[in-house]
Amino acid sequence: MSAQDRHESPDSAPPRPVGGVSRRRFLGGAGTATAATAGGFVLGAGGVLAATATTASGEDTSPAALLTRGEAANDLLSYPYYGEHQGGIATPPQNHLVFTSFDVRATSAVELQLVLAKWSAAMAEMTAGRPVGKVEPTREHGIPVDTGEVFDTGPQGLTLTLGFGPSLFDGRFGLEKFKPLNFDDLPAMAGESLNPAYTGGDLCIQACANDPQVAYHAVRNLARMARTQVSTKWTVLGFGRASAGPAQKTPRNLLGFKDGTRNVSTPDDFAQHVWTGKEAGQPWMEGGTYLVARKIHMLIETWDEDTIGDQQSIFGRTKQEGAPLSGKLEHDVPNFHATEGNDPLIPADAHMSLVAHENNGGTKVLRRSYNFTDGLDSVGRLDAGLMFLCFQKDPEQFVKLQRKLGLSDRLNEYIRHVGSAVFAVPAGLPEAGNYYGKEFFR
């Protein structure tokens, strides 16, 4: 798969994964004793891949063999970089996230232009599983261009999504006239305890991949190649996706509940709720979207002391199955009018009730969140939560829902919004030779 290949899928449809990168992961001979060269590994009689199971066709279907093949598939999985929309939005959420917000330290438009051009080209290379620069081991006195830690992992489904913060259009670079309509920092809302260390940014990169090292490598190398023009402002590593995409099993957040059951998924939904059109007043945003990032700290120990019944009424769903309290199965359509006696089965102030499109004039956002943990806090409690990421055609969609949640959500007793940012995510690049923001510098 060449980085020049166009993304040819129909408008607004989720992107197709493609295979074909030539470097194949070394497969350890599943089910077979393998003797490596001297100094290498020897798989003994009680070796790790001994648990074999073969089908009538002779295919090895043991968990170990399937796992090995699954890992090899991960190596090969790549998403197209060029296309109508950027990757990492309609892409089914990969398993890992590195989200990083940057401040631009450069003082001239031409320096910013150079960063965006370099980044756009490097993003194409890394998305295809290639290093950001040639490896020339004979050039012993050269500084390595690529940092090397993913030389042999393959693309791992990497997507890189670039966003511009409102502050980028503040006049430092003469970009005022390119600012989308109604694009500003999010308004202050109830229930926030924002930490300036996790707030805002001129640029952001959302790196998602099925190997966390691949996502980390991408951000590290982008930061490195722009180190005199751009500084990292805040970063969050997501260690488990917490929003389902099309055809994915619904994952769970760290409160133990399924998250993303009713997520935006159809092309119609994407067209109606996610992809920005002419309303931004900027051609570069047609086919783009807005990313809202909220770092949400969870008071895990407190939550863990709550009863199962209370937890369920806070979410409006059962914990084990994830069914709405008005139904039996996860994907049962919630009935907000169903009652038992005088009480609604789904409380009106349940999290699900407050955000349901039925109760918000049809408003939806595409959630693409990840769980995170920063280890322990200063008093030894688990420092963890949800890196809430959502995409919408207008930031007002998020603001409308969050205003309601901030005022009424019973979940607020257990969560704190500690970080926040909004970014305008430009449309995809049509083909090689283009770069994000090119329109700004004519």
- Work out the end-to-end distance of the chain between its first and last CA atoms, rounded to an integer number of angstroms: 32
- Given the structure tokens 């003797």, which residue do they identify? 35
User: Cβ closer to a second copy: 358 or 396?
Assistant: 358
In whole angstroms, how close is the CB of 135 to a second copy at the nearest point? 5
Tokens representing 136?
Answer: 């020339």
For residue 41, what are its two tokens? 């590994």
Residue 205, H or E segment: strand 203-209
- Cβ contact 334:352 at 8 Å: yes
Would you list the DSSP string of 145-163? Answer: SS--TTTTT--TT-EEEEE
Measured from the CB atom, the residue of 69 and 172 that comes closer to a second copy is 69
Place of tokens 């370099």: 118
What residue type is 16 in one-letter code? Answer: R
Smaller CB separation from a second copy, 110 or 329: 329
Q: Which two tokens stand for residue 2?
A: 């060449």
DSSP, res 108? S
State the minimum distance, in angstroms, from the CB of residue 74 to a second copy. 6
Write down the least CB distance from residue 174 to a second copy, Å: 26
Minimum CB distance to a second copy, residue 132 (Å): 12
Q: C-beta of 182: minimal distance to a second copy in Å?
A: 31
Residue placing its CB nearer to a second copy in the complex, 51 or 407: 51
CB 406 within 8 A of CB 191: yes
* Complex with a second copy: residue 182 or 231, whichever CB lies closer: 231
Neighbour count for residue 57 (Cβ, 10 Å): 6
Nearer to a second copy, 70 or 281 (CB): 70
Min dist CB 273 to a second copy, Å, is: 15
Sign of the alpha-carbon dihedral angle for 130, 93, 211, 289: positive
